[in-house]
Structure 1
Amino acid sequence: MLFKLPHQMGKSLLWVVILMIAVNAWGSSGCLEEERTALLQVKAHMKFYTHGKSLTSWVNDTRSDCCKWYMVTCNNITKRVINLDLSWIVDGSGGDWYINASVFLPFKQLNVLDLIGNQLAGVVENGGFDKLSKLRNLEMIELSSNRLNRSILSSLSHLSSLKNLSLDSNPLNSPPNSSGHERLLGLSNLEFLIMKTVDLEDTNVLSVLSKLTNLL
């Protein structure tokens, strides 16, 4: 037996079907071209590779979906990069690495940036982490097991969106010609801070943590 739907209901169901098809087509598409290009720039910036993490899946091929690349996580709906796990990428035989954090600016929805164990010793001129203050979704940065000194703190202090920050196993000693009073100011939303193995005296640790009222 066939049932005839009322005309208005039939039109409504038709639009629902069309909308579902459109959403499904959008959700199944690959990563954004601007972010695929940006990832290739990140790869070039990191130069040296080790521990088997050679980023071989990061290829300059428009048919390659960067959301499926190794160490990249995208939002299922927007297809924008939300998580970059770039831990233990830079080979120590290449010497210290100085980051240009601006290479991460194209990732508008980036939530987590992991740079653990990359021989990171500082930032290039005009390329500090303060550049990432434009990324309002950035909540976690992992910087453990690098070679950062205390000057990195003032660069990080601009990231008001951060909730998690790890600086474990860094010297965090005072750089030459420095007052040694660099602090993590401005991290008003920071809840978790890991600084277990650093070369800071207790009094310096207290000064670094001053005004971080939301720490759990």
Structure 2
Amino acid sequence: MDIDKIIKERHSVRAYIEKNIEQNIIDEINKDIEEYNAIGDLNIQFITNEPNAFGKSFLADFGKFKNASNYIALIGRKCDKLDEKIGYFGEKLVIKAQSLGLNTCWVGGTYSKKNTKYDIKKDEKLVCVIAIGYGENNGKERKLKDISSVASSDVEMPDWFLKGVEFALYAPTALNQQRYKITLKDNKVEIVSKLGFYTKVDLGIIKCHFELGAGKEHYSFKY
């Protein structure tokens, strides 16, 4: 898997063609979901062939989707780091989907629990969902900030740190806010986000990207 190519070519897609996702691809994604649920104490679920997925019965007042009949429900037991864990593991699934020839879109909003196909327990929360399928196109590129606007270091930035920041800049964030800072001090990386819409989920997504770019020997997500 050419992770550099996948990271750079993945864009948000809201318009899909009417084509079922092959069972072998569903099985492969579900295998990852099972692993992440066990590691992160989550209850992520892959829902396929649900024609009303983004209708009024599910995602209230959130339009501009076409033929979106598959989604990943990002659910977990309520805890302080739930949103961040959802961002981290959800983005891993987004990247996996891209590697398998699928397109995706992170979706946050007001959800209705009526007529839904996912299961959720009383102590759990549906944080957001990921639309997934075969896009009409591969989405549009978005403007990225400069490295200097999101990162700083007490020494000359090493290559691994620069690669981590580069990957982080390609991370999807709510409303393309990119409201985060990545610092390297005393050879320790700190990634923080400013307050804003879905910034805790964004933080998990950013940490996933930075980890992929920098390598786990330099930075590893704590969950």
Q: TM-score, length-normalised on structure 2?
A: 0.31
Radius of gyration: which is bigger?
Answer: 1
Greater strand fraction, Structure 1 or Structure 2: 2
Of the two structures, which has the highest relative contact order with CA contacts closer than 8 Å and spacing of 6 or more?
A: 2
Q: TM-score, length-normalised on structure 1?
A: 0.31
